[in-house]
Amino acid sequence: MNEYLFTSESVSEGHPDKIADQISDALLDEIIRQDIKARVACETYVKTGMVLIGGEITTTAWVDVEEITRNTINNIGYINSETGFDANSCAILSAIGKQSPDINQGINHSDPLQQGAGDQGIIFGYATNETEVFMPAPITYAHLLVKKQSELRKKNILSWLRPDAKSQVTFKYNNGNIMGIDTVVFSTQHKENINQNILREAVMEEIIKPVLPKKWLTKNTKFFINPTGRFVIGGPMGDCGLTGRKIIVDTYGGMSRHGGGAFSGKDPSKVDRSAAYAARYVAKNIVAAGLADRCEIQLSYAIGIAEPTSIMIETFRTGKLSNKVLINLVRDIFDLRPYGLIAMLDLLQPIYFQTSVYGHFGREEFPWEKLDKVDALSQ
């Protein structure tokens, strides 16, 4: 018997770090919509009453930074000072420069297939067959909880909900198999006058129970709903927010290793983002092909060099083939050069705002989730 607990967390679109991610990716999408050759590294900082947007952007596109930023904040739900942040009156500051020509000369190439990586980096991808979406259960259900909160808030079903929320789910495992849910933590921002008993009952009945499978809930499952007893001050008024500070929420909830590079605000020439999507694509197809129950892949790149400098695969003793054989299959079937993976996954399209909340993986609408390499891997 090898019993253990594993916990993952997620945050809602109204969390300050996620506000920053959404603004960065909203700007990226509008730039890509006009200029697929753009080089974008857009960082956002939010705090009470202000938004600061910085980074390096080289493009022929013209975007209304202020309008996109205000619309993004407004759509999240911060529409007046009562919510702690007002899309209509917050100050918006810009400190955007251009990409260094030293970097640019290593990326641009007369032969697109020889396009070099935009920077050095280590990248991980992961997949597991413990859920239908080939993702770890803890992060999957943590995302679903905060997504449900947003749905109820926007439909005004629970009128006292505010945009900021966090979830945390602890699963109990035995020899890698899910035994049940041990603990659920859920905190949601709310209006001043809501009774906490009413809030806790509503969160349990309208958010937690509809989302979490009954088979994993027992009489011993612990629930902590707004455990401090009050969450009125939230969003940027409660904490400052920064692009790229929720990298574990964005990926596998800690179940897989992480190379450290964030995603939001970066165009696909940045392998921090595009190669992480490709690594997920590879790992998911390996697991879906039945070659392993769990698969983690590491890629590494050097700035200005097209081919990955290394590929590592770990299947945690669940592989049907040796790791060496799997690596050879990956090299034969997948093009992991920057231009190759951009073409393979059709990444030069404005899809990035959608990724900026509720996880970049395990969502079928994204091209890196397709399973079109299963047959090739199975042969």
Q: Cite the annotated binding site for L-methionine by residue number.
A: 56, 99, 239, 270
Output the known binding site for K(+).
43
> How big is the chain by its Cα radius of gyration, in Å?
21
**Cα(311)–Cα(275) distance, integer angstroms:** 12
Output the known binding site for ATP.
15, 164-166, 230-231, 239, 245-246, 262, 266
- Asked if 158 and 229 count as a contact pair (C-beta separation under 8 A), the reply is no
Three-state DSSP state, 291: coil
**Cα(149)–Cα(158) distance, integer angstroms:** 9
DSSP letters spanning 342-375: HHHHT-SSS-HHHHTSS-SSS-TTSGGG--TTHH
- Asked if 303 and 116 count as a contact pair (C-beta separation under 8 A), the reply is yes
Q: Where are the alpha helices (DSSP H) in the chain?
A: 16-34, 65-76, 101-107, 137-154, 196-202, 209-211, 235-238, 247-250, 271-288, 323-333, 338-345, 352-355, 374-378
**Cα(232)–Cα(192) distance, integer angstroms:** 6
Which structure tokens are listed for 325? 């054989």
Output the known binding site.
15, 17, 43, 56, 99, 164-166, 230-231, 239, 245-246, 262, 266, 270
Output the known binding site for Mg(2+).
17
The dihedral through the CA atoms of 354, 360, 361, 367 has a sign that is positive
**Cα(92)–Cα(153) distance, integer angstroms:** 26
Query: In this structure, what are the phi and psi dihedrals at residue 130, rounded to the nearest 5 degrees?
Result: -75, -15
DSSP-assigned letter for residue 320: S
Which structure tokens are listed for 275? 């190669």
Three-state DSSP state, 64: coil
Query: In this structure, what are the phi and psi dihedrals at residue 162, rounded to the nearest 5 degrees?
Result: -120, 170
If 0-12 CB within 10 Å is exposed, 13-18 middle and 19+ buried, where does residue 367 land?
Answer: middle
**Cα(297)–Cα(302) distance, integer angstroms:** 17
